[in-house]
Copies of this chain bind each other. A is one copy, B any other.
C-alpha cells in the first residue's frame, strides 16, 4: 500500500461514510466543503489505498435469531498460528484473535441458544491443538461501533 497519510477531509469522509454509506457524493461534498467530483475522487482513492475495504450493511443479530453472544478463551497445547482456517470454518465465530496471556486464542461467538453455543464449543475442541475453553456469556451489549477515524 502507498503512503497512508489521511488529512482532516479524508477522516471526515470516512466518518460520514461509516454513518451512512448510501448518501450522495453531493451531500458528502457539502459536508466537507468539496464538489461532488472532488469528493468522488477522494473516496475512490480511499478505496484504492485500502483505507476503505468495502461497503457493507450492518445487521441486527437478533433479527437473524442470534440472541446469544459469548467470548471464548481457547487454550492450546501447540502453536496456533496456522489455525485460522479451522476457526473460520465455524460460521458462528465472528472474530478470532491470537492473544498474549494464558489462553492462546480469543474468539467471539454468536449463537441462537446456549445449547447451540455448547455445540460450538464441541467443534472448537475438535480443532487440532485445542486443549481447553473458557466461555464468557454476554448479558447485555452496551454498544458495538466501528473504529473512530478521528483519533
Contact indicator A59/B52 (Cβ below 8 Å): yes
Known interface pairs A91-B150, A95-B145; A21-B57 also in contact (CB < 8 Å): yes
Contact indicator B54/A57 (Cβ below 8 Å): yes
Q: In the complex, what residues of B have CB within 8 A of residue A151's CB?
A: 64-66, 91-92, 111-112
Contact indicator A140/B63 (Cβ below 8 Å): no
Interface size on A (CB < 8 Å)? 66
Closest 10 CB pairs of A and B: A96-B142, A84-B142, A97-B138, A51-B63, A98-B140, A17-B57, A53-B58, A91-B148, A21-B55, A95-B144
Contact indicator A56/B18 (Cβ below 8 Å): yes
- Majority SS at the chain A contact face: mixed
Known interface pairs A19-B56, A52-B58, A57-B17; A137-B64 also in contact (CB < 8 Å): no
Show the binding face of A for B, using Cβ within 8 Å. Answer: 1, 4, 6, 11, 14, 17-22, 49-61, 63-66, 69, 71, 81, 83-84, 87-88, 91-92, 94-101, 105-106, 110-112, 136-151
How far in angstroms is the closest Cβ of chain B from A88?
6
24 example contacts (A-B, Cβ-Cβ < 8 A) are as follows A6-B63, A14-B59, A17-B56, A19-B54, A21-B22, A50-B63, A51-B60, A52-B57, A52-B59, A54-B58, A59-B149, A64-B147, A65-B151, A69-B97, A88-B142, A88-B143, A92-B151, A94-B145, A94-B146, A98-B140, A98-B141, A98-B142, A99-B137, A99-B138
